[in-house]
């Protein structure tokens, strides 16, 4: 029996591997496959609050920034939905999150190289044939299948991150949830007389705003607490956006490890900030609700606290007791709440199926993937690629949807040795490293001499 060996297999089908699936869907000479343990694609359904939108423009879809003429572009999708003129009249580049989710599901329906309900149990390397073997559980049949591939692309994505001090209260179910499960527990949350939202990113702002809108109907006390000194808006000015560029990736990658680590910790407002318009909407809603209560003598039951680091959490009989430290005043304080929404983000965790490949994977001194510039993590730098697991090596652009097409075009070129989609390398006006003016002056001087010769008829 002849074994089928794929050119590559992508494990995990989030937006990044889905983009690669889309870009390879119309290239006949590439034989790739994508596996995912879920039953289908549904992007952050627990945060699909009505009206919320992406933080990147519609051109950061699955394919457009690699190939604007690709049949799986968002514009082609919305034309087929009969909404292109409505989208045009709307004059808003930022897609609704529901709309983006529907677009991705439509794109998947056009492809035949994605397999759902496939749980990868183990990956190992066949040293004799220089290929990878995947043992995969089909969750519908209960049978184990074996797949063979020349290359691997890991797109398993990050997992919800919880503060370790919340371990004791994690079993409170409807009372303590991660933001990714918000809508599934919203009704139960609103039955409590106090709700605390912890965090200061976009998700925290969206959850707080949603609960604030309905505070009058449920009469709960609503708290919003963050360890940050303020609620940072997402920086979206044009010269700052140039940092989402191949040049900045190159610059960041070549910095010393400690410098990269420090930069990432200080750049959260570049990729974890709140939409400026949402910050303003929250303030306006707070103001409107205060005005509404002014003539009644009632007080708006909302507390917004900054510089407040969560250091302890315990489950009491009637409530959850949260212990904080004010980081600037260095003063401890406690807050009692009936429900807690942890908007504490996501963190990459290495998939368990890589256990059989550890001898072939590069790790740094902190146990993280030592990712090569070409997004590989294997010792040879040729076979195992990562998607959104390289924040510490490639910078804050790693989770950015706007850079997905660039990375996928790059990975595709590395896998095949052929540039199916032009990989743009120079898009920024600014330079991120120390300039070499001498080289520039030499180039300018040589060009000036050439121009003079042409004018004199010497060339």
State residue 172's pLDDT score: 79
Two tokens at 272? 């974890």
pLDDT tens-digit map of 267-280: 988 888 999 999 99
pLDDT tens-digit map of 327-354: 999 999 999 999 999 999 999 999 999 9
What is the rounded distance in angstroms from the CA atom of residue 82 to the CA atom of residue 79? 5
**Residues β-bridged to residue 363:** 369
The total of other beta-carbon atoms located within 10 Å of residue 411's CB is 24
The total of other beta-carbon atoms located within 10 Å of residue 131's CB is 16
Pairing of strands 384-386, 176-178: unpaired
Separation of CA 323 from chain center = 30
- The residues, any chain, with a CB within 8 Å of residue 258's CB and separated by 6 or more, are none
CB contact at 8 A, 74 and 95 = yes
State residue 442's pLDDT score: 64
pLDDT tens-digit map of 37-96: 999 999 999 999 999 999 999 999 999 999 999 999 999 999 999 999 999 999 999 999
The pLDDT profile of the chain, 459 residues, written as one tens digit per residue, is 578 999 999 999 999 999 999 999 999 999 999 999 999 999 999 999 999 999 999 999 999 999 999 999 999 999 999 999 999 999 999 999 999 999 999 999 999 999 999 999 999 998 888 899 999 999 999 999 999 999 999 999 899 998 999 988 988 777 999 999 999 999 999 999 999 999 999 999 999 999 999 999 998 999 999 999 999 999 989 999 999 999 999 999 999 999 999 999 999 888 889 999 999 999 999 999 999 988 888 889 999 999 999 999 998 888 999 999 999 999 999 999 999 999 999 999 999 999 999 999 999 999 999 999 999 999 999 999 999 999 999 999 999 999 999 999 999 999 999 999 999 999 999 999 999 887 666 655 666 665 665 666 555
Query: Could you give the C-alpha distances from 65 to 22, 60, 134, 352, 408, in angstroms and in order?
Result: 12, 7, 32, 33, 10
State residue 188's pLDDT score: 94
State residue 400's pLDDT score: 95
What is the rounded distance in angstroms from the CA atom of residue 147 to the CA atom of residue 353? 14
State residue 90's pLDDT score: 94
What is the rounded distance in angstroms from the CA atom of residue 443 to the CA atom of residue 183? 59
State residue 453's pLDDT score: 58
DSSP string, 42-98: --SGGG--TT-EEEEEGGGSSSTTT-TT-TTSHHHHHHHTT-HHHHHHHT--EEEHH
For 235-257, b where at least 16 C-beta lie within 10 A, e where not — what string?
eeeeeeeebbbbbbbebbeebee
């Amino acid at each position: 029996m002849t074994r089928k060996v794929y050119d590559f297999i992508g494990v995990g089908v989030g937006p990044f591997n889905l983009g690669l699936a889309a870009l390879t869907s119309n290239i006949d000479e590439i034989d790739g496959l994508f596996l995912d343990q879920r039953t289908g694609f549904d992007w952050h359904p627990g945060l699909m609050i009505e009206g919320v939108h992406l933080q990147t423009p519609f051109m950061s879809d699955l394919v457009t920034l690699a190939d604007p003429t690709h049949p799986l572009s968002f514009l082609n999708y919305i034309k087929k939905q009969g909404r292109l003129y409505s989208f045009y009249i709307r004059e808003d580049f930022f897609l609704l999150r529901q709309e983006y989710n529907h677009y991705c599901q439509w794109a998947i329906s056009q492809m035949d190289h994605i397999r759902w309900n496939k749980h990868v149990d183990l990956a190992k390397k066949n040293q004799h044939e220089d290929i990878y073997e995947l043992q995969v559980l089909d969750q519908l049949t209960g049978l184990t299948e074996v797949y063979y591939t020349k290359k691997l692309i890991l797109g398993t994505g990050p997992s919800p991150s919880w503060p370790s001090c919340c371990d004791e209260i994690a079993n409170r179910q409807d009372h303590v949830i991660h933001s990714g499960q918000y809508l599934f527990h919203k009704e139960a949350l609103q039955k409590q007389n106090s709700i605390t939202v912890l965090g200061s990113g976009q998700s925290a702002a969206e959850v707080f705003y949603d609960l604030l809108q309905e505070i009058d109907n449920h009469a709960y006390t609503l708290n919003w607490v963050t360890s940050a000194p303020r609620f940072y808006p997402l920086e979206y000015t044009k010269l700052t956006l140039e940092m989402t560029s191949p040049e900045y990736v190159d610059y960041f990658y070549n910095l010393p490890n400690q410098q990269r680590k420090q930069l990432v910790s200080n750049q959260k407002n570049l990729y974890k900030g709140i939409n400026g318009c949402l910050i303003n909407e929250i303030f306006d809603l707070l103001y409107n609700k205060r005005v509404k209560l002014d003539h009644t003598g009632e007080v708006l039951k909302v507390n917004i606290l900054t510089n407040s680091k969560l250091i302890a959490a315990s489950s009491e009989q009637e409530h959850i007791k949260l212990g904080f430290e004010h980081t600037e005043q260095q003063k401890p304080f406690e807050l009692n709440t009936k429900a807690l929404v942890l908007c504490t983000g996501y963190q990459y965790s290495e998939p368990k199926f890589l256990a059989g490949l550890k001898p072939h994977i590069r790790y740094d001194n902190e146990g993280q993937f030592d990712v090569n510039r070409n997004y590989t993590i294997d010792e040879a730098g040729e076979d195992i690629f990562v998607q959104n697991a390289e924040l510490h090596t490639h910078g804050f652009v790693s989770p950015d949807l706007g850079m997905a097409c660039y990375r996928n075009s790059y990975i595709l070129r590395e896998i095949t040795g052929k540039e199916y989609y032009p990989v743009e390398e120079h898009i920024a006006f600014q330079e991120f490293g120390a300039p070499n003016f001498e080289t520039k002056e030499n180039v300018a001087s040589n060009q000036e001499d050439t121009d003079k010769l042409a004018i004199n008829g010497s060339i």
